[in-house]
Structure 1
């Protein structure tokens, strides 16, 4: 496997981002956002805007939709009372929509299966809320590949903070020399750098409209199967 050329030590753990890395989940998120916005008598956002706003967790996504602006999650932009109501309505709709319109990216199932057969441990480290992470993995038919999933609200910090990666490595008794992060956004690269972990970037995800190359991961690949 080309995977083994990335690290000085044999790979024992791979940590994956979820949205935009393993699963194209933007259609579900966009549908839930638009239903929320309609209830609040606001213009629908649509799929393309949802793709730009994904990546920093559901609270940021909702605030960006309310403001119709990428900077909507900054302090003071969205009134807290409106946000609280909107967040509740989004969660209601997303609980129904999660996994309904999503799809695995090409090569994902093959790669996860091969890594599983090779005995390498696998974990999801996402900024997605924990209550939606496992249902999405299950509906995509890939939950059995992962021994651990860490959501954006599982710990006191989320990516780009290194804590989720550090927590995951500790869980598996692995270290920075035998662990790898794979993701599609600058948050994944920043978290990996802060945790001193090698990181592979994928160009097809939701990096707020910016090419993943601009985040300077250790390697950029077109598909996970390029590592086989």
Structure 2
């Protein structure tokens, strides 16, 4: 199968946004009379959407849940704080620009598929200068269900006009791998992201790539193999 599109995660794959997320999460905790958490701790809370991040940051635990009344106030406090700092300290990971350019040179269509709400996704991409590379942006509230559900991947494929088997997902977590597999896409994982503190080597994928540029090279090599592989018919 020839690949025609790439679906790329945002936080932990394209951009290190933890400094901004940690700043907002700690502002929320201080508002509730709680001590700030270390940035590396908050990094393990990232990956399953803003609501989960707020539950985890407020409780200080990966499995923690805040009471509903407290959670509603905490979520709004976090949103207010994150609007102020979104993109302020975020940095683009090495190899991302080169990788996106290489994908464009191959004629691939590219989409961002993230669990981050649209009110933060667009401004972040604009502020760090990446928005122009993408043909579509699918945020956490673009469809009814977030990753690891396959719905965002399927929606992205529909917007790009490709079949899921023609798309490669590039992400940093089990969420990305699960969503890709359920949608029928191939998936590559980068080892430098968040994945809730777990090693991506333990996740079933089509490959671990060190950067987005390596992902572009993997796709290019796969395209060459698909064009040159000769299938020998069986003899009877």
Structure 1 partner of 2:90: 102
Structure 1 partner of 2:12: 20
Q: Secondary structure at the match of 1:113?
A: helix
Per the TM alignment, residue 50 of structure 1 is displaced from its structure 2 partner at its CA by: 1.1
Larger-gyration structure (1/2) = 2
TM-score, length of structure 2 as denominator length: 0.89
Q: Does 1:58 align with 2:50?
A: yes
Per the TM alignment, residue 114 of structure 1 is displaced from its structure 2 partner at its CA by: 2.0
Per the TM alignment, residue 177 of structure 1 is displaced from its structure 2 partner at its CA by: 2.4
Q: Deviations over 1:144-193 (max 9, x none)?
A: 00111111111110100000001111112201221110000000000011
Q: Deviations over 1:38-73 (max 9, x none)?
A: 11101212211111000011110000011110001x
Match among 196, 203, 221 for residue 215 of structure 1: 203
Match among 128, 148, 155 for residue 140 of structure 1: 128
CA distance in 2, matches of 1:145, 1:23: 14
Extract unaligned runs of 5+ from structure 1: 1-7
Q: Secondary structure at the match of 1:14?
A: strand
Q: Secondary structure at the match of 1:53?
A: coil
Q: Matches of residues 46-195 of structure 1 in structure 2 within 5 Å?
A: 46-72=38-64, 77-195=65-183
CA distance in 2, matches of 1:110, 1:170: 26
Match among 6, 24, 31 for residue 23 of structure 2: 31
- Aligned CA-pair RMSD: 1.0
CA distance in 2, matches of 1:177, 1:189: 14
CA distance in 2, matches of 1:62, 1:45: 13
Q: Does 1:196 align with 2:192?
A: no
Per the TM alignment, residue 216 of structure 1 is displaced from its structure 2 partner at its CA by: 1.2
Match among 42, 45, 48 for residue 34 of structure 2: 42
CA distance in 1, matches of 2:127, 2:77: 22
Structure 2 partner of 1:3: none
Q: Deviations over 1:80-109 (max 9, x none)?
A: 111111110100010011100110000101
Extract unaligned runs of 5+ from structure 2: 218-236
